[in-house]
A and B are shown apart, each in its own frame.
Chain A
Amino acid sequence: MPIKVLVAKPGLDGHDRGAKIVARALRDAGMEVVYTGLHQTPEMIVTAAVQEDVDVVGVSILSGAHMTIFPKIMALLKEHDVDDIAVVGGGVIQEADIPKLKALGVREIFNAEATTQELIDGIERIVGETGRDRSRREAGAAR
């Protein structure tokens, strides 16, 4: 089954060109990509992730607010009992913050220089590892 990904763009920075390019690249790699638009709050992102039942949430942050946004997203996923959904980040994130984000449970950070191929490979690897293969989701659905 196709991998389903939510591409989310939180914060106040004004354009979503990058997020749209990512969405199309993932589509071209055979994924089903839900795009939610600009200015998403952590609550909106997690609501969409729950209802869409995605495998992966990709959060793109350019504004430098990652150390407030990621903890909120991770906490909300737990609160909704969907913390089996993998979270990855992209955009402008300082090297020093990456270990902190990973400690929160963020699976991978793709910095601004990462190619779309690296992103695709990374997502496929993470979905393979976590076993959140949507064709083998019976256990998760039955909980």
Chain B
Amino acid sequence: MIARRAHRDLARAITSVENGIADYQVTAARLAAQGHRREGAGHAAIIGVTGPPGAGKSTLVDRLIEGFRANGETVAVIAVDPSSPFTHGAVLGDRVRMQRHAGDAGVFIRSMASRSAGGGLAPATRDAVRLADAAGFDVVVVETVGVGQVELEIVAVADVIVVVTVPALGDSVQTIKAGLTEIADIFVVNMADRPGANATAVDLKHMVREGKREIPVLQTIARDGTGVSELFAALGARRGAEDSNAVRAVRFELVRRARDEAVRHALAALDSPDAAAILERLRAHELTRNDAIDLLLPMLGGPVHAH
């Protein structure tokens, strides 16, 4: 069980990282100083749940909470909903589906607005997950924004990724864009009470067979719990399996950071006086666009390409 006090302190720690008041190291150290670092913490199973809007992700997460609790495991949920790109406001509605666990001290649920970050997560989601882990939760479930296409950010955060979809009419697999087989560890066709669930599952199984990895394709009715025990069995099998996702997650995160760093570098280079002089000559028609690019490229420190 997690102390009530830890819920409050964890919640405030998440706010700190979310609002850029303090970084992960500082907030995690403070949580520990507050006595919320439990023996064995830092080894939570992190489960990502992603899929299109309205597929039943939150309802399924509610079932996962129920199952993990029945097994005596404590659960933290970080649920991300989209921020409006115009007002930056957000309605965070995932929690509605999980509110029945509000009285259980073994369950912590935190909604996060995506704060206009792409990728289906919020900028601070990763740190929120780490903080929940540090606070001693056995399982951390991350629900992404309902995404139409493949969003890869979750790869860097979760150990196991559950892709939830629904029975589609007509071109079922078309709704699941290429690339999903690369991130999915488990496919769930939810709303199996609707027509077309079998056909969608069969299509997915064909798609999976073309890939290199073995990915179970399950059917659930999150609303009444049908098929959820099979999902737990699949999750259990993944937890014991060799951790190739860890390698993938590290690669993804390092590539992302390298890219961000390169972008920062490039922007700084463009602000330099030398670059400004070249851009000035471009503006005065003394250079062509391609000449300007050729002259600027070496300033990035990267390879120079001829055009």
Contact = CB atoms under 8 A, between A and B. Distances in A.
- Determine the interface band of chain B, counting residues with CB < 8 A from chain A: 35 or more
B103 A27 contact: no
B108 to A, nearest CB: 6
Contact of A50 (B8, B89, B93, B95): B8
Contacts of A81: 5, 8
Interface in A1-58: 1-2, 23-24, 26-37, 40, 43-44, 47-48, 50-53
B121 to A, nearest CB: 15
A45 B214 CA distance: 43
A137 B19 CA distance: 9
Contacts of B103: 43-44, 47
Contacts of B110: 51-52
Nearest to A27: B89
Interface in A59-88: 80-82
A50 B7 contact: yes
A142 interface: yes
B202 interface: no
B83 interface: yes
B111 interface: yes
Contact of A138 (B21, B93, B102): B21
A135 interface: yes
B83 A32 contact: yes
Dominant SS among interface residues on chain B: mixed
B89 A2 contact: yes
Nearest to B76: A51
Interface core residue of A40, A53, A80 (most chain B CB under 10 Å): A53
Contacts of A51: 7, 11, 108-110
B92 A35 contact: yes
Nearest to B110: A51
B21 A53 contact: no
Contacts of B87: 27-30
B96 interface: yes
A141 B21 contact: yes
B89 A29 contact: yes
A29 B86 CA distance: 10
Interface residues of A, number: 35
A140 interface: yes
Contacts of B7: 47, 50-51
B102 A26 contact: no
B91 interface: yes
Contacts of A107: none
Interface string A105-132: 0000000000000000000000000000
B102 A23 contact: no
A44 B36 CA distance: 23
A81 B11 CA distance: 13
Interface string B63-107: 000000000000000000001100111111101100100110000
A35 B95 contact: yes
Contacts of A36: 95-96, 99
Contact of A30 (B13, B89, B111): B89
Interface in A75-104: 80-82
Nearest to A43: B103
B4 interface: yes
Interface of B: 4-5, 7-8, 11-16, 19-22, 27, 30, 83-84, 87-93, 95-96, 99, 102-103, 108-111, 113
Closest 7 CB pairs of A and B: A27-B89, A37-B96, A53-B11, A44-B102, A141-B12, A47-B102, A30-B89
Interface of A: 1-2, 23-24, 26-37, 40, 43-44, 47-48, 50-53, 80-82, 134-135, 137-138, 140-142
Given A36-B96, A53-B14, 8 more contacts: A2-B89, A2-B90, A32-B113, A50-B8, A53-B11, A137-B12, A138-B22, A140-B12
10 contacts: A2-B90, A24-B91, A28-B84, A36-B96, A43-B102, A43-B103, A44-B103, A80-B4, A141-B12, A141-B21
